[in-house]
Structure 1
């Protein structure tokens, strides 16, 4: 839902107060076009804002959304692939989607409240927690979180209302909710209800929450105002990073070719990095690329960076420079296990030579390190040499029973060009 908030203030059906239904991808498996949390809003007149699959299932989702507005109830729709029904609606890419459809005005879902976050001063951090199971109708509306990093489940009266006020359920929710919120991720949270355990009373449907969290862009800090830094700045911006270029030499950092960076800083690299960490402006998503290739800058900078728990630390240099760098860091007391996190020489082995090619090599390694950190796949490889789904989304399909039995849409037979 968060992806549509910037557009809600300009979308006429929402502005005019028409009844609408929100369709959100809450589970996905295999190769799917869009990630968890992607939403589409359908008005009572059939107008559409957003897209879930690039065209594969939108028509069926619109039909289901109009039906949900007519009967006033939420529903869960499944879209998959089957060769048995060549004319059914579904994903020709072979993936699976579960789409939750909820009319506005039910369980407190209010587009007007969400539109309030579409203004120019809207927070760059925002999260929404929605309850999807049938028991959520009386517990208030979705919980809007303006500061996901500092959110605590125990301190939220809105979340307590959503979960029925049971302290044990709130504690169980915190274990799953808070990592999703602080990581800027989306996902399902399933909780055992407080009632029904150890009795002959039928066990209620599990409490099911859907969490979407948006954080400010992760930071990329590039140290070294040289040709390689100039090439890496736009590459980092292309990946969505907030890019800082830092160099201790004013004659180099003041050059106009670095103006594409979000910040250009003239300071000693290790001193600047330590100050940013102390100010809380770095987190576990931040990446550091050391391109200075000068031991008087590199050694104190890498000592600082390797002690901060950053997502990626890479340093440019030859293999000889790398060995000398490792010896110097060990001599200064850097633990050997910290050095295992250092990507040096920096980048994937793509045969890169020019600064632009090296920038591709570095950003490719950063992407590969994200995947390795999630334990979804251990190394980067060519897609042509692999097998299985192209998109490594977190497993989210389960065999748990649901009160709302989804209607399954099976796609047409396999397209050999997909």
Structure 2
């Protein structure tokens, strides 16, 4: 639901009830992931999308029915159909959708969660999507700081369990499903919770104030990263040269990296081409819990860099985490093409994907999402495709 937080927040402050439809489970190839939502208010206004257009009209009607009749939450499943007059997905997968009525005055914790999202604060919303009818649709608001939560699921121990797991997903910057066992005293039936998260933007740290960094900073910002360009040379590291970066820092790269915050979603791109910058920077970067570390350079530069890093005490296990030469093989020549090559590798790395053309990979295009929130790894098809035009 956080994909449409701005509009939902506005409707809540206007006191307008609405029906919320959320994708709660995906099977096979489907256009949008769990958590993607659509909402309809009493005036018939609609915001969001759950299928890219295939089943929107049917979901809209479900929302109007739940809203107009103040009904209990409703579940619906949509799959493939080749009937021109049937409602279904054209991509061949299946999606489960939960539709529930939301009255802002009865859900102050949900209003607070939407406020966090709109203000850019990290937030998670845990929503029961499978289980006893009396619990279906209940939510918890879990903020990024502290250990508290708002809302109720019916049992304090289960709430604390859900809140702790939701907070862990929030720290990792992703959503996911949580399976909760039943509790004989209060809730004997098990239930499933979908965690919606809005985390701070992941960071992209670009070291080396060069032309490639200008193009990469623009691509990184387009992908939603908070981009920093760092270089020790003040004549090159200027905001005017990097208008798309969120910040431009004049400092020695390894010193800046040691003093800044990084996590498992951070991408470090080393474009300096200078051993006096590269070696201390990469030695530090490869020892930190950073999601992606790549370094630009030729094959010869890469071989020399590896020798220097080994001499500096970097282990083979740490070196295996280094993407060098940086980027995917796209035949890139210009800074803009190189930026696409680098960001393509970062995306593939983050999603544990092969980076191969889809025509060379077996299985569905949209990979199934696991309970962890990551996409399932599908092996590449060893047989090249033989397509005809």
Relative to the length of structure 1, the TM-score reads 0.80
**For residues 35-75 of structure 1, what are the alpha-carbon distances to aligned partners after superposition, in whole Å with 9 as ceiling and x for unaligned?**
22111111234321222122211111122122223152011
Q: How does 1:67-216 map to 2 (within 5 A)?
A: 67-69=65-67, 70-83=69-82, 85-105=83-103, 108-109=106-107, 112-113=111-112, 116-117=115-116, 122-133=119-130, 135=132, 137=134, 142-147=139-144, 150=145, 155-156=147-148, 158=150, 161-166=152-157, 169=158, 173=162, 176-195=165-184, 204-216=188-200
1:174, distance to aligned residue in structure 2 (A): 6.3
Matched, 1:7 2:30: no
5+ residue gaps in structure 1? 198-202, 397-418
1:320, distance to aligned residue in structure 2 (A): 1.4
5+ residue gaps in structure 2? 372-389
**How has the CA–CA distance of structure 1 residues 65 and 109 changed in structure 2, closer, same or farther, with 3 Å as cutoff?**
farther
1:184, distance to aligned residue in structure 2 (A): 2.1
What is the rounded CA distance, in whole Å, between the counterparts of 2:72 and 2:359 in structure 1?
45
1:16, distance to aligned residue in structure 2 (A): 4.3
SS at match of 1:132: strand
| 8 Å Cα contact 1:129/1:209 also seen in 2 | yes
**For residues 106-145 of structure 1, what are the alpha-carbon distances to aligned partners after superposition, in whole Å with 9 as ceiling and x for unaligned?**
99545654554466xx133111112234547479952222
1:324 alignment partner in structure 2: 304
2:23 alignment partner in structure 1: 25
Tell me: higher relative CO, structure 1 or 2? Use CA pairs within 8 A at least 6 residues apart. Answer: 1
What is the rounded CA distance, in whole Å, between the counterparts of 2:340 and 2:117 in structure 1?
34
1:58 alignment partner in structure 2: 56
What is the aligned-residue RMSD (CA, Å)? 2.8
SS at match of 1:236: helix
2:343 alignment partner in structure 1: 363
2:374 alignment partner in structure 1: none
Which is worse superposed, 226-235 or 132-141? Answer: 132-141
What is the rounded CA distance, in whole Å, between the counterparts of 2:230 and 2:221 in structure 1?
16
Matched, 1:303 2:283: yes
**How has the CA–CA distance of structure 1 residues 189 and 108 changed in structure 2, closer, same or farther, with 3 Å as cutoff?**
farther
Relative to the length of structure 2, the TM-score reads 0.86
**How has the CA–CA distance of structure 1 residues 349 and 59 changed in structure 2, closer, same or farther, with 3 Å as cutoff?**
same
The equivalent position to 2:360 in structure 1, one of 372, 379, 385, is 385
Matched, 1:339 2:336: no
**How has the CA–CA distance of structure 1 residues 369 and 179 changed in structure 2, closer, same or farther, with 3 Å as cutoff?**
same
SS at match of 1:368: helix
| 8 Å Cα contact 1:136/1:162 also seen in 2 | no
**For residues 261-316 of structure 1, what are the alpha-carbon distances to aligned partners after superposition, in whole Å with 9 as ceiling and x for unaligned?**
1100000000000000xxxx211100111110000000000011001111110111
Matched, 1:43 2:30: no
